Each structure stands twice: as C-alpha cells, then as structure tokens.
Amino acid sequence: MADFTLRWANRSQSTQDWIISIPDSFTLPPDYVREAAVTINNNYTFQIAVSTEGGFAAANLTYNSASGNWTLQSVTPNEWRLSQGNGYVTVACLLNDVYVGGVAYTASKAVSETTSAKGGYPAYQLYQDNTGTVYCTPVKVKSHAVGAQWVKDCLAAHPGTSCDGKPWLSDDQEGVIWP
C-alpha cells in the first residue's frame, strides 16, 4: 500500500476545466494547483481530460505498484509535465486557450459552371486514372478535341492505367501536371 499526494497543476495563462476519473471535476485558474491524497494498493490509471476556450488535452497517469513508478501517456505530450518525489506526484497541464483567427475561404467555379460557360474553354483538362492519380494539362486547352487528345496521349504514356470516371475542366491546375 502506498500513500501519495496527487497535485493537478495549471501551468498555462488560461483557466482550465479538469475532469479526473476518480471521479472529480474542477476549474483551475492560471498557476493554481489542486491536491488530493490517495492510497494505492495495486496498479492504477487515472484518466485526465482538460479543456480551455477552444482547446482540449487528455492523458493517462498510471502507477505501477511493482516498480513504484508513475508514467504519463498522451497523444498531446507537449501539453503535459510529470514530476514525482517524496510522495508527491504532480501532473501539470500547459494547455492555453485556442483562438482561431479569421478563416479565409476561397471559392472557385463549380465544374458544371466552368464547362457550361462558352463550352468551358480555355480551361485545364483533368482526369483521374484507376490508381487515384489526377493528371492535368500544363496549359489551358482551347477545345474539347484538344482535351480529348491530351487524355488519350496521357493514358498511352502511362501503360496499365485507365480513366476512372469522366474527364473534367477546371480554371485551376491541380494534381500531376503532364507532360
């Protein structure tokens, strides 16, 4: 049987909401610590979740009774710190608020709009082959005949491939530029 003082520490500049699988939930202002006295008889894992304004981090704090060691595992390891000694185990969370700046959306004409306006030309000719690769012309094509010939030439240059779906036109180049 081992007695420990667990310390949950907010080491960020943001207020954090904590949930521990003891069960316990609480809010810690920046640079505050909450302590809990625990007695552990065997291996045990505490599941920890911390959230801030727009941020979230989770970790598992595990005690191995055979070795007497504590470990901390997380998919966000840069947000956590573990220190232990003299019966104290401190888990510090560094998670700050996450503010998303102005989101910039871009728009382009839909394929059907591009192809319907004046036959859609000039435009880049594209197609996807049966391996999932998208090929695109190096320059805008002037007509359907030129685009169709380019697709045939590109398929011939890539033996064993076939066109997966209908070729399309776009105002933007994307995929592999061929030739």
In the chain, what are the domains? 2-93 (2.60.40), 111-177 (no CATH)
Cβ proximity of 133 and 176 under 8 Å: yes
Quote the pLDDT of residue 31.
Answer: 93
Report how far Cα 174 is from the mean position of its chain's Cα atoms: 23
Q: Residue 131: which pLDDT band, with cuts at 50, 70 and 90?
A: confident
Looking at residue 147, the DSSP 8-state letter turns out to be H
Reply yes or no on whether the pLDDT at 102 is more than 80.
no
Distance from C-alpha of 105 to C-alpha of 103, rounded to nearest angstrom? 6
User: What local confidence, expressed as pLDDT, does residue 173 receive?
Assistant: 82
pLDDT in the model for residue 105: 62
Alpha-carbon distance values, 88 to 11, 57, 78 (Å): 17, 22, 22
Neighbours of 59 (CB within 10 A): 21
- Assess whether pLDDT exceeds 80 at residue 178: no
Tell whether the model's pLDDT for residue 158 goes beyond 80: yes
C-alpha–C-alpha distance, residues 125 and 140, integer Å: 7
pLDDT at 113 over 50: no
| pTM score | 0.56
Under 8 Å between Cβ of 20 and 48:
yes
- pLDDT of residue 57 exceeding 90: yes
CA distance 55 to 166: 43
